[in-house]
């Protein structure tokens, strides 16, 4: 048996947050999310939390588990090394109910940095006619930062976010670097004007908590440092070129034609 101490809060009742204790039978392989579902289905149906994929892809079940922000679906109870599990909502966010927080600031800041490809030719984005060429090394330049789940864990771990609500935060800054590093993108000047501000990338004090807490290894702290370098020295990168459509092959003389198919199409 494991003891779960869960912070409960219902603003509709006007009560203050309080801790409620549950006893949960643990089986090998059970995650914290499994235990929360057990509590909701068997002990207390009023418990409120977010969950969707249960496999570390959606980021919905981010919460504060034993003093650290984690994904509940990826955190096995046995890995915590304790019989008591404390579960609270993510800090640095407004609590809606129980373990559910308001992620509106996260998505608002994410939208601010224009997280989409800004091409050289806007018409080609709206009505594409050809493909952009991008080599594997060029993909590697930003691939790590494209794994962001938007779970909000990095903002909950950031001490600067805790003291400055207007700070763009590690998630948005990492995504700004992800897109300006993409050879298909031409939005460097636009994004630098957004992030190189009073509450932008220079507010980061490199605590590194965001990189330590990220469940997908995105390392927003590294992205912010690289973004600072681009803001100071500018950007020099090869723009992706449009690939021309393939030319119909011309068979070499002397080579016989391929045999006819044995099965005819209906």
**Domain of residue 65, CATH code:** 3.10.20.30
Q: Which of 71, 97, 218 is nearest to 147 (CA)?
A: 218
For the entire predicted model, the pTM comes to: 0.87
Domain boundary among 86, 101, 116: 101
Kindly provide the residue ranges of all beta strands, DSSP E only, lying in 95-237, ordered along the sequence.
95-97, 100-101, 131-132
Which residues, 6+ apart, have CB-to-CB distance to 181 below 8 Å?
A: 141, 142, 145, 226, 237
222/122 same-domain check:
yes
In a domain, 253, yes or no: no
State pLDDT tens for residues 27-58.
999 999 999 999 999 999 999 999 999 999 99
Handedness of CA 246, 236, 117, 208 (dihedral sign): positive
Per-residue pLDDT at 243: 86
Range among 1-5, 14-18, 117-121, 259-263 with highest mean pLDDT value: 1-5
Our count of domains for the chain comes to 2
- Residue 10 structure tokens: 């219902």
For the chain, the farthest-separated pair of C-alpha atoms sits apart, in whole angstroms, at 87
Range among 3-17, 213-227, 236-250 with highest mean pLDDT value: 213-227
Question: 64: helix, coil or strand?
Answer: strand
155/235 same-domain check:
yes
State pLDDT tens for residues 62-77.
999 999 999 999 999 9
109/232 same-domain check:
yes
- Residue 175 structure tokens: 């995504």
In a domain, 246, yes or no: no
Q: In the chain, pLDDT over 70 holds for what percent of residues?
A: 99
Asked if residue 14 has pLDDT above 90, the reply is: no
Q: Where in the sequence is the domain holding 123, given as residue range(s)?
A: 104-239
Asked if residue 120 has pLDDT above 80, the reply is: yes
Per-residue pLDDT at 176: 97
Q: Which residue has the tokens 């930062």?
A: 145
46/111 same-domain check:
no
79/114 same-domain check:
no
Whether the CB-CB separation of 34 and 115 falls below 8 Å is answered with: no
């Amino acid at each position: 048996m494991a003891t779960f101490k869960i912070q409960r809060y219902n603003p509709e009742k006007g009560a203050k947050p309080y801790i409620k204790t549950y006893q949960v039978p643990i089986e090998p392989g059970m995650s914290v999310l499994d235990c929360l579902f057990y509590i909701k289905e068997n002990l207390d149906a009023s418990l409120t939390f977010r969950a969707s994929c249960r496999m570390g892809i959606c980021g919905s079940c981010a919460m504060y588990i034993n003093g650290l922000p984690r994904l509940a679906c990826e955190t096995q109870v046995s890995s915590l090394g304790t019989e008591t599990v404390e579960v609270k909502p993510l800090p640095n966010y407004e609590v809606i109910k129980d373990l559910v927080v308001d992620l509106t600031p996260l998505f608002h800041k994410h939208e601010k940095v224009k997280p989409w490809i800004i091409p050289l030719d806007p018409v080609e984005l709206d009505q594409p006619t050809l493909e952009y060429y991008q080599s594997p090394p060029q993909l590697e330049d930003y691939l790590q930062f494209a794994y962001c789940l938007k779970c909000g864990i990095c903002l909950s771990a950031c001490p600067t976010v805790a003291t400055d609500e207007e700070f763009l935060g590690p998630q948005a800054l990492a995504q700004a670097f992800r897109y300006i590093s993409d050879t298909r993108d031409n939005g460097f000047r636009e994004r630098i004007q957004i992030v190189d501000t009073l509450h932008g990338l220079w507010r980061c004090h490199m605590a590194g908590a965001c990189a330590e807490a990220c469940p997908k290894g995105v390392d927003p702290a590294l992205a912010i440092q690289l973004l600072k370098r681009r803001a100071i020295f500018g950007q020099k990168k090869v723009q992706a070129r449009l690939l021309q459509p393939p030319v119909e092959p011309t068979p070499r003389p002397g080579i016989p034609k391929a045999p006819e198919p044995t099965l005819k199409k209906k």
